[in-house]
């Protein structure tokens, strides 16, 4: 029996976030360059978007490049940016046709001009699509985002646009780059690493975490469905007791 056939379609996470990890190790295992692993990872991205759409996921956030990833060798960073530009350009027509709306979170202005332009154009072309929102976390890190939010909150308080007493969870969320995006119910990390690596720290307060050994270029639709099944087996108590649910 496939994982897909066991999924309860009435209990699908509205938002799944993925830390797509393991491209480098996948390439190394086959004596290829790390960049080859990143290129092959793009196929997993396409398959995952299709798989998520098939079960009715509304938001899919993909950790694509962290603010810390600038610390990698220049050759790898340049190659990653090229792959990004190329992939968006190759896929934009299909995304438009298939109801995919592309969004991005992160500090885009630090990306190369070409990447910014390609991203902006794809987001514009897909802005009216409603089937699934694919959110690319690009030059993103949670501490960068929280730092920016705190500065903007402080500024609005100083300019009397915001009262300190009114600051609550919702207000804080509205100052993050993920404003208007619901918190993820499920976070997946591939490649066997058990850490968050500066991703969505505020937003995952009550998210279910699923870790898999699968390296990102090997990640297939069934791996997504297995993660969803794992999610469906969890009891989400939000601080309450089983009896209260």
Q: Which residues are catalytic?
A: 21, 69
Note the residue count of the chain: 245
Span interacting with Mg ion, options 13-21, 65-73, 100-108, 161-169, rule CB under 5 A = 13-21
Minimum distance from residue 65 beta carbon to Mg ion (Å): 11
Radius of gyration of the chain (CA): 19
| Nearest CB to ligand IPE, comparing residues 142 and 191 | 191
Beta carbons of 58 and 132 less than 8 angstroms apart: yes
Beta carbons of 18 and 190 less than 8 angstroms apart: yes
Q: Which does 65 bind (CB under 5 to 8 A by kind): ligand IPE, Mg ion, none?
A: ligand IPE
Per-residue exposure over 122-147, b if at least 16 CB sit within 10 Å of its own CB, e if not: bbeebeebeebbbbbbbbbbbebbee
* Residue 189 binds to Mg ion (criterion: CB under 5 A): no
Strand partners, 135: 61, 103
* Residue 145 binds to Mg ion (criterion: CB under 5 A): no
* Residue 118 binds to Mg ion (criterion: CB under 5 A): no
Counting residues that bind Mg ion (by CB under 5 A) gives: 1
* Residue 223 binds to Mg ion (criterion: CB under 5 A): no
Q: Which does 102 bind (CB under 5 to 8 A by kind): Mg ion, ligand IPE, none?
A: none
Positions that interact with ligand IPE (CB under 6 A): 19-25, 63-66, 69, 80, 191, 193, 195, 197, 216
* Residue 38 binds to Mg ion (criterion: CB under 5 A): no
Minimum distance from residue 75 beta carbon to ligand IPE (Å): 13
* Residue 21 binds to Mg ion (criterion: CB under 5 A): yes
| Nearest CB to ligand IPE, comparing residues 36 and 63 | 63
Beta carbons of 106 and 139 less than 8 angstroms apart: yes
Phi, then psi, of 45 in degrees rounded to 5: -60, -50
Phi, then psi, of 2 in degrees rounded to 5: -80, 160
Minimum distance from residue 41 beta carbon to ligand IPE (Å): 7
| Nearest CB to Mg ion, comparing residues 21 and 208 | 21
DSSP characters over 63-122: EEEEGGGGGS-HHHHHHHHHHHHHHHHHHHHHHHHTTEEEEEES-GGGS-HHHHHHHHHH
Minimum distance from residue 149 beta carbon to Mg ion (Å): 26
Point out which residues bind Mg ion (CB under 5 A): 21
């Amino acid at each position: 029996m496939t994982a897909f056939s066991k999924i309860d379609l009435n209990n699908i996470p509205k938002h799944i976030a993925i830390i797509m990890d393991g491209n480098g190790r996948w390439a190394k295992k086959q004596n290829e360059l790390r960049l080859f692993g990143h290129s092959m990872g793009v196929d997993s991205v396409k398959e995952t978007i299709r798989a998520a759409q098939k079960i009715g996921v509304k938001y899919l956030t993909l950790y694509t490049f962290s603010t810390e990833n600038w610390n990698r060798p220049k050759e790898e960073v340049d190659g990653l940016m090229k792959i990004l530009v190329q992939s968006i350009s190759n896929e934009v027509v299909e995304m438009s046709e298939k109801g995919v709306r592309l969004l991005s979170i992160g500090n885009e202005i630090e990306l190369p001009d070409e990447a910014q332009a390609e991203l902006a154009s794809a987001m514009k072309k897909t802005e009216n699509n409603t089937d699934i929102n694919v959110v690319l976390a690009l030059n993103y890190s949670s501490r960068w985002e929280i730092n920016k939010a705190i500065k903007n909150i402080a500024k609005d308080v100083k300019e009397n646009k915001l009262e300190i007493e009114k600051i609550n969870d919702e207000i804080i969320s509205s100052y993050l780059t993920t404003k208007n995006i619901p918190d993820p119910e499920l976070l997946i990390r591939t490649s066997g690493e058990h850490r968050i690596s500066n991703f969505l720290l505020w937003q995952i307060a009550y998210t279910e975490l699923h870790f898999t050994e699968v390296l990102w270029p090997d990640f297939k639709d069934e791996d997504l469905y297995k993660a969803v099944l794992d999610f469906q087996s969890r009891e989400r108590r939000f601080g309450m007791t089983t009896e209260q649910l």
